[in-house]
Amino acid sequence: MSILSRFPVIQAQSARLKTQLTALDRRLALRYGDRYDKVKQQLDETKVWYEKTRAEAQASGTIPLEQKQAQTDRQVGDAGSAAARKEAVIKQQIKELWQSIKTRQSS
């Protein structure tokens, strides 16, 4: 026994809403034709993608947003490390240049 059968008022409202949705769908299809069909198809594809992604996330125990955030954190960390190494090289080159200038002046 479904929950709707226990509540006749909700069942009647549900049936009325389904009828209204069907009528709206028909009107939109008549008014917009192929464009409306394409939008509906894209929406259906998006729903399938969402459900697939959600199922994969639940199966792996991680959230795609968290995965992307961790990946971005690693990339930022790598970029920071590379910048620090480059900074050290530049400082060393400046130090050597300064030493060569001082040496030339004292000669």
Read off the pLDDT of residues 51-107 as tens digits, 9 standing for 90 and up.
Answer: 998 888 788 777 777 888 889 999 999 999 999 999 999 999 999 999 998 888 876
3-state secondary structure string, the chain?
A: CCHHHHCHHHHHHHHHHHHHHHHHHHHHHHHHCHHHHHHHHHHHHHHHHHHHHHHHHHHHCCCHHHHHHHHHHHHHHHHHHHHHHHHHHHHHHHHHHHHHHHHHHHC
Per-residue pLDDT band for 2 (boundaries 50, 70, 90) equals low
Read off the pLDDT of residues 19-29 as tens digits, 9 standing for 90 and up.
Answer: 999 999 999 99
pLDDT of residue 63: 76
